[in-house]
Structure 1
Amino acid sequence: MFRKNGAEALVDTLIEWGVDHVYGMPGDSINTVIEAFRQKKDKIKFIQVRHEEAGALAAASYAKLTGRLGVCLAVAGPGAIHLLNGLYDAKLDHAPVLAITGQVITDLLGLDYFQEVNVSRLFDDVAVYNQMIVSPGQIPSVVNQAIRTAYARKGVAVLTIPGDVPDIELDRKTRYTYAKVDSGNLEPRTEDMDAACEVLSKEGKKVILAGKGARGAREELLAFAERLGAPIVVTLPGKGVVPDKHPYCLGGLGLIGTRAAYDAMQEADTLFMVGTSYPFTGFLPEKAMTIQLDTEPCQIGKRYPVDIGLIGEAKHTLARLTERIPYQENREFLARCKEKMDKWWGKMEEQEKIESSLIMPQYVARTLEEVAEENAVLSCDVGNVTVWMARHFRVTNQSFITSSWLATLGCGLPGAIAAQIAYPERQVFAICGDGGFGMTMNDFVTAIKYKLPIITVVFNNHKIAMIKFEQEAMGNIEYATNLVNPNFAAYAEACGTVGFRVEKREELLPVLQKAVAARRPCIVDVLVEADEAPMPPKITFGQAAGFTKHMIKEFVEEGRFTLPPILRV
């Protein structure tokens, strides 16, 4: 009687969990596993990427977008090592991901054999579950435990499988366990809810800081804000939890945030944090009564002093709080915040209209709004492009993802690939700087191979521009930030698809419309102004002093010892 081997048991267990695709590259130590995927290709799809890092980043993005498990696969040694960056992105952004890696056969373990790497040690820091499988009988139960842990702890599970194990048949007595993870609504303690309601019922200047944990609770969050008369500030991972142009929304916080959000935080006497453990505490109030709502007890007070912690789901807990607190009649603080935000939007619109010999990056972000559909997915890379999109693209119902905590360059394209696989009927944009796109552009052909009609927009300034401005803010002269780029539009055409190069402002909108209409993978290569600084909402004395120091250094190096008028005291 035929019995399944370890590889078939692995693939069958993934299917039982509802996994419908896996990112990876074939190779010798996983060839038996690849054969099992081939046999089950009508139920689970193997997405061949060109670099394992892109596969891991795609798996992380898929998990961030859908909440479902992202899965990636790599060979022993170099393939496993390549996964690390994408897996750390998943770890830091709390995305459930399963990584499966090959290993040398069991008889050769510990002999420093070809491609042998201590994979268990390699992944020890990144993983919430990390296990080597040395018997096929382990596979059903261990895979179940790995996936269950990844979901429950919102992190990375790693399974390492020596190359001989997938070939071995399972014994009839193999242990099978529960291929499911259970969940329920977390309820804050009664005394904590009572304390929160007492604080929220008092008059004062209240501000809500909403993170990605508030996703799926838009109606409840807005009803809560309306009841409190409190403005909403969003973190970067939380962009889109409420519409950017909603009258209560003050946009983002921090160096890429808005002045209205910064000022509101400075005035607040009560801060309500929902679904966020915001790291840049210098932008939070110095003295405010603080309530933090999160599903994870370890996140409460992790980075900022908290007076009341609520352990619960955002949707349910916000609804309960709204029912219990009185309507705040005094709307003076909210009105002032809204007035400041209206001025901020006016300032952003002025920046978008600036004429230049090259295209202003703010204008690119704003023009994308005109072609992006209501349910589009925006996979944004890291760098100056993050600033332009955070400030100038007004999200309504679009999904916005990026590498939030790791902030790794190169995440934009893999994220778009994952988004188009997750939502084949939705419009998907990869929005990249030239530095970030250059890191993973080889996987543009993956989109072509699988006929994924993603629109890749490259902000091309031939520079790692954010690092340039960081150097200058430190008082240093720009160094090693210039890039030599190909013509990205010509690259798209060389790959066998459509590419557009945009050099003039008036060309941008018609080209984006053509790209959207093409319904095939394409690249829009936009030449943008390199010297446009992504200024923070409030410039500190240290930043101003650093930039002045940088300018003095430049003039001295050029032999211009007479200071320009702008620097004369």
Structure 2
Amino acid sequence: MGKTAGDALMDVLVEWGVEVIFGMPGDSINRLMEPLRKHPKLRFIQVRHEEAGALAASAYAKLTGKPGVCMAIAGPGAIHLLNGLYDAKLDHAPVLAITGQVETDLMGTDFFQEVNLDRLFDDVTVYNQRAMSAEQLPVIAIQALRMAMTHRGVAHLNIPDDIPAFKVERHVRGNSSIFVPSRTIPRESDLEKAASLLSNPGKTVILAGRGAHDAREELITFARKLKAPIVLTLPGKGTIPDDHPYCLGGLGLLGTKPAYHAMREAETLVMIGTSFPFIGFLPHHARTIHIDSNPAQIGKRTPVDVGLAGDALYTLQQLNGRLSERQEDEFLHRHQQGMKDWLEEMKVQGEADRTPLRPQTVPVALQEVIADDAVISCDVGNVTVWMARNFLVRNQKFIISSWLATLGCGLPGAIAGKLAFPDKQVVAVVGDGGFAMTMADFVTAVKYNLPIVVIVLNNSKIAMIKFEQEVMGNAEFATDLTNPNFARYAEDCGGIGIRVESRDELKTALQRAFETKKPVILDVLVDPDEAPMPAQVTFSQAKNYAVHLLKEWLEERKDEQATT
């Protein structure tokens, strides 16, 4: 007897290195769940919300480079996947989404839970196909995975409920589960142009993004030859250690003063593996070289003098071979000293012993106990600012929702991290607003015995939005949160919960959390009024913030007068 289409699909997934599938079972995928249940090499992780499943699949792909896979029923389940899939799309993570659909003879009849998934998934995907027969399913599954890996994006298989149960009777087209990655190599003429420009580069700054992650040593050699400091984008955090002598930290609202000032002075800018969107922080009149493996990114946001369409590692190797080491290093040394002062300032912030705790205390205390090879899943919001500035990534894996910046990514990312790297420390650093969006899936970590540490910065605020309202000169509105006791919630879920209100309690709690073999929530009460001020405050921001303070004072006076 031939295999069913469902069995054939599972075999394809295994051929492509898939080990974990995130999802929630239901009626229109029950005929997929049975072959999944029986397959010895696949593990199904039941999530409590499909959005968390898609976010976990995206994080798994970011961390491993393998395809992340999520699965949901037709209608509501498929719709719930979309937020996590857009995270994967925008951060170029290879993800396969498998959704059920009503049976083929019911399609087009406005049947229960029937949604036009072909149209719904069209924008988020690089490949989007509905299975039409048992023989077709394994063929399009191979194509979907090949497209996801080739284009580093989302592929979607829409599978009517009856198809997986049919036998694959006829000869299947002879496509193959083979993926051959390629390396983009820049033109020789462009390399020569770049080397010529860099032979007299003046004050040079390097901006490195996610695309430079696999070229650490070549990047450091390049910087040393040019005597150029390296600034990192948020997705690029960890490309070189944050405390490396050539590193000036991040750029933009999450960035450092040394990075801001170096960019202001730069006469030559080299962008590597980044499509940095906040162009107001880039130098306005610098000669610019842009290296990216995707030619479509070069010159996309800022004028470029030389474009190098190439893999970062290969391109830097080629440039390093063409460059002599500069001797003039005054610019570099000056900003290195500025970075030393900045790091000391960040450490002082994090060592402040006051109540309520400054949120900066958390990343600095975490730094003291975390392993050098740990996995860190950071959520979005003020917590991003504190982790970007006050936590020094050395060799840890650091993931975040970079381009979509979706709240709630931290916990699913940690679940994915522990599944991908079961022997490593895995920590999620989240705000109370973001955590509340996906906190139901803490029980998923408990269910599958995934000893992750979730650190909640609890200020009972949507604090970044509060700050944004204030710098616009507006009064704070609708940013208060009513929170449960997150530590008690952890205990109710079967994990360990620790409430933290002081710096000494934080140190003890972190040590205990990493020693235990259960999922842990540290509910850390932090100051809601600690504003994530940019490293360099503009006059407009200061003026608007002053207007906000005046409005707040006037509102208070009005309330006082109304009660007298």
Tell me the TM-score normalised to structure 1 length. 0.97
Residues in 2 aligned to 1:232 and 1:505: alpha-carbon distance in whole angstroms: 33
Structure 2: which amino acid aligns with 1:12? Answer: D
- What does residue 258 of structure 2 align with? 260
* CA offset digits 1:41-85 (Å, max 9, x no partner): x21111111100000000000111111100000000000000000
Structure 2: which amino acid aligns with 1:288? Answer: A
Structure 1: which amino acid aligns with 2:300? Answer: K
Q: Does the 8 Å contact 2:354/2:502 carry over to 1?
A: no
Percent identity of equivalent pairs: 59
* CA offset digits 1:495-543 (Å, max 9, x no partner): 1121111011211101100011012211111001110001101111221
- What does residue 542 of structure 2 align with? 544
Structure 1: which amino acid aligns with 2:293? Answer: T
State the 1:346 CA deviation. 2.2
- What does residue 18 of structure 2 align with? 19
* CA offset digits 1:26-52 (Å, max 9, x no partner): 011000100010110x21111111100
Structure 1: which amino acid aligns with 2:535? Answer: P
State the 1:468 CA deviation. 0.5
- What does residue 430 of structure 1 align with? 428
State the 1:549 CA deviation. 1.1
* CA offset digits 1:190-219 (Å, max 9, x no partner): 000000100111140111000011112111
- What does residue 567 of structure 1 align with? none
Deviates further, 339-348 or 484-493: 339-348
* Secondary structure of the structure 1 residue equivalent to 2:557: coil
Residues in 1 aligned to 2:237 and 2:142: alpha-carbon distance in whole angstroms: 33
Q: Does the 8 Å contact 1:23/1:56 carry over to 2?
A: yes
State the 1:363 CA deviation. 0.9
Aligned counterpart in structure 2 of residue 495 of structure 1, from 487, 493, 498: 493
* CA offset digits 1:118-168 (Å, max 9, x no partner): 101111110011111111111122111111111111110011011111111
State the 1:560 CA deviation. 6.6
Residues in 1 aligned to 2:348 and 2:500: alpha-carbon distance in whole angstroms: 22
- What does residue 534 of structure 1 align with? 532
Matches within 5 A, 1:282-321: 282-321=280-319
Structure 1: which amino acid aligns with 2:329? Answer: R
Q: Does the 8 Å contact 2:238/2:394 carry over to 1?
A: yes
Matches within 5 A, 1:387-406: 387-406=385-404
Structure 1: which amino acid aligns with 2:419? Answer: I
Confirm or deny that 1:414 pairs with 2:405.
Answer: no
* CA offset digits 1:318-343 (Å, max 9, x no partner): 11211110111100110111111112
Structure 1: which amino acid aligns with 2:20? Answer: H
* Secondary structure of the structure 2 residue equivalent to 1:532: coil
- What does residue 133 of structure 1 align with? 131
Residues in 2 aligned to 1:389 and 1:280: alpha-carbon distance in whole angstroms: 19
Aligned counterpart in structure 1 of residue 277 of structure 2, from 272, 276, 279: 279
Residues in 1 aligned to 2:559 and 2:206: alpha-carbon distance in whole angstroms: 50
Structure 1: which amino acid aligns with 2:26? Answer: G
Q: Does the 8 Å contact 1:358/1:505 carry over to 2?
A: no
- What does residue 174 of structure 1 align with? 172
* CA offset digits 1:456-482 (Å, max 9, x no partner): 000001111001101111111111111
State the 1:172 CA deviation. 2.8
CA RMSD of aligned residues (A): 1.2
> Is there any run of 5+ residues in structure 1 with no aligned partner, and where?
563-569
- What does residue 468 of structure 2 align with? 470
Deviates further, 118-127 or 540-549: 540-549
Tell me the TM-score normalised to structure 2 length. 0.98
Residues in 2 aligned to 1:353 and 1:43: alpha-carbon distance in whole angstroms: 47
Confirm or deny that 1:35 pairs with 2:40.
Answer: no
Confirm or deny that 1:363 pairs with 2:355.
Answer: no
- What does residue 517 of structure 1 align with? 515
Q: Which runs of 4+ in 1 moved over 4 A?
A: none
State the 1:561 CA deviation. 11
Residues in 2 aligned to 1:429 and 1:388: alpha-carbon distance in whole angstroms: 15
Confirm or deny that 1:9 pairs with 2:8.
Answer: yes
Count of residue correspondences: 560
Q: Does the 8 Å contact 2:89/2:154 carry over to 1?
A: yes
- What does residue 382 of structure 2 align with? 384
Residues in 2 aligned to 1:140 and 1:304: alpha-carbon distance in whole angstroms: 44
Structure 2: which amino acid aligns with 1:26? Answer: P
* Secondary structure of the structure 2 residue equivalent to 1:558: helix
Residues in 1 aligned to 2:322 and 2:43: alpha-carbon distance in whole angstroms: 49
Structure 2: which amino acid aligns with 1:501? Answer: R
Residues in 2 aligned to 1:73 and 1:506: alpha-carbon distance in whole angstroms: 43
* CA offset digits 1:228-268 (Å, max 9, x no partner): 11000000000010011111100000000001001111111
- What does residue 240 of structure 1 align with? 238
* Secondary structure of the structure 1 residue equivalent to 2:550: helix
Aligned counterpart in structure 2 of residue 119 of structure 1, from 96, 117, 120: 117
Aligned counterpart in structure 1 of residue 75 of structure 2, from 74, 77, 81: 77
Matches within 5 A, 1:86-235: 86-235=84-233
Q: Does the 8 Å contact 1:136/1:170 carry over to 2?
A: yes
Residues in 2 aligned to 1:70 and 1:561: alpha-carbon distance in whole angstroms: 54
Aligned counterpart in structure 2 of residue 48 of structure 1, from 43, 46, 49: 46
Residues in 2 aligned to 1:316 and 1:519: alpha-carbon distance in whole angstroms: 42
- What does residue 61 of structure 1 align with? 59
Residues in 2 aligned to 1:268 and 1:136: alpha-carbon distance in whole angstroms: 60
- What does residue 328 of structure 1 align with? 326
Structure 1: which amino acid aligns with 2:265? Answer: E
* Secondary structure of the structure 2 residue equivalent to 1:215: helix
- What does residue 250 of structure 1 align with? 248
Q: Does the 8 Å contact 2:5/2:167 carry over to 1?
A: yes
Structure 2: which amino acid aligns with 1:374? Answer: D
Q: Does the 8 Å contact 1:229/1:334 carry over to 2?
A: yes
Q: Does the 8 Å contact 1:76/1:117 carry over to 2?
A: yes
Residues in 2 aligned to 1:382 and 1:240: alpha-carbon distance in whole angstroms: 18
